[in-house]
Amino acid sequence: MLNKLFGFVKGEHKARTEIVAGITTFLTMSYILAVNPAMFSQLDGMPAGAVFTATALAAIIGCLMMAFWGKLPFGLAPGMGLNAFFVYTVCMAMGYAWQFALTAVFIEGLIFILLTITNVREAIVNAIPINLRYAIGGGIGLFIAFIGVQNAGIIVNNDATLVALGDITSGSALLGLIGLLITGLLYVKNVRGAMLIGILLTTIIGIPMGITEYRGVVSMPESIEPIFCQFQWSDIWSLDMLVMVFTFLFIDMFDTVGTLIGVCTRAGLVNKEGKIERLNQAFMADAIATTAGAVLGTSTTTTYVESAAGVAQGGRTGMTAFAIACCFAITLFFSPLFLSIPSAATAPVLIIVGLLMLEPICKIDFSDYTESIPAFICIILMPLAYSISDGILIGLIAYVLLNLLCGKFKKLTPAMYILAILFILKYIFI
């Protein structure tokens, strides 16, 4: 029964491990429940309460699709970066209505469904060279760790040097370092549920430090009626809509591709040929979740890189994704309690997971510079550009150009040439 539902094999997988992994992933990605409403409520006509409910519902739909259809241990929710692009770039900077942006996200979701049905997305993944795939995992690791140290305030903005060390002797940064020590010790000692226990202990320590803010326990979910199915069809054939759809499409596609490649490689969910098992099903879950999220009234729903936390905890099947969905469902009624967990408490998990994600780079052939240079570009750009997709795109462009100029034509496939050209055009025109 469980095998049919989640791909869970008795004797090979443990229900307790899968559930703990799901809870861990949820806690590391639950910040979206606070961030999304705060962002979207800056737009007229998008109440924070309605956005909170829409965010949770979109995550539930996405995770259930991943659990039953994809049978993989990944959490889905409206994506960070994509929501910022939606609010601050499309709506505030470019002046488009949020209804216009939601329409673009909806169309993007439909295109993704079509690309998945035709196996185009899977073909794109298979066109990425093996050493770049290893690099993607390592780059995501650095990216996750960077998010963690930022969330805790260990690393802060600096006008002169872009980033700098924060005040680690007090406040959130100190709590983050304490949590890192606790979580690291638990992990070294092979304590079951180390990351989840680390989050909870760090949250408790944050109470006397004045960082963990108690916000209550129970509240009824607010209606999504103000933002439900609010599409602007009048401009769907405009050039602006075309540009917007393809921008969302590019960012979402390669964020998802990067996350799936990186986390699946870390989890050992690849076959002998290096291909990800059930990849197309995972893509379909992602595509349907994006479309459903737009209907509900939120930005692009995508596979979360924080899923690596659950994988590190032992999650391997759709049961992990189902546990994540259940957690999001609970938050609909216990949002004040879950929102009490400070970002400093989840930051240590992200940092440790970042370390674990670096493992695949050991498989990169560093002796062949036509392989290692593009791989390094991919790795270093993800955290520095703050974008998984940019790391992949520029890494592949570098791979094709370097091997082309070195005369190593046999290493390049027609798909690689096509992707490189498309990526170059993307940077020129979008």
Structure confidence by residue, pLDDT tens digits, 313-358: 888 898 999 999 999 999 998 877 776 788 888 888 888 888 887 8
Whether residue 402 sits in one domain with residue 299 = no
> What share of the chain in percent tops pLDDT 90?
43
pTM for this model (two decimals): 0.76
| In the predicted structure, residue 273 carries a pLDDT above the cut 70 | no
Whether residue 185 sits in one domain with residue 119 = yes
Whether residue 421 sits in one domain with residue 371 = yes
Question: Nearest 10 degrees: CA dihedral of 329, 335, 341, 346?
Answer: 30
Average confidence (pLDDT) over 73-80: 89
Average pLDDT, the chain: 87
Higher pLDDT, 58 or 96: 58
Domain end marker among 357, 382, 398: 357
Whether residue 223 sits in one domain with residue 93 = yes
Instruction: Give residue-wise pLDDT tens across range 189-209.
Output: 978 778 878 888 998 999 999
- Contact indicator for 237, 88 with CB cutoff of 8 Å: no
Q: How far apart are CA 281 and CA 105, in angstroms?
A: 20
Whether residue 353 sits in one domain with residue 371 = no
Domain end marker among 357, 385, 411: 357
| In the predicted structure, residue 59 carries a pLDDT above the cut 80 | yes
Confidence of residue 81 (pLDDT cuts 50, 70, 90): low
Whether residue 387 sits in one domain with residue 276 = no
What pLDDT score does 274 carry?
Answer: 65
Average confidence (pLDDT) over 134-156: 88
Whether residue 380 sits in one domain with residue 341 = no
* Cβ contacts of 121 within 8 Å, gap of 6 or more: 112, 115, 253, 257, 280, 283
| In the predicted structure, residue 162 carries a pLDDT above the cut 90 | yes
Domain extent at residue 340: 2-357
Q: What is the CA radius of gyration of the chain?
A: 21
Q: Which helix (H) or strand (E) holds 88?
A: none
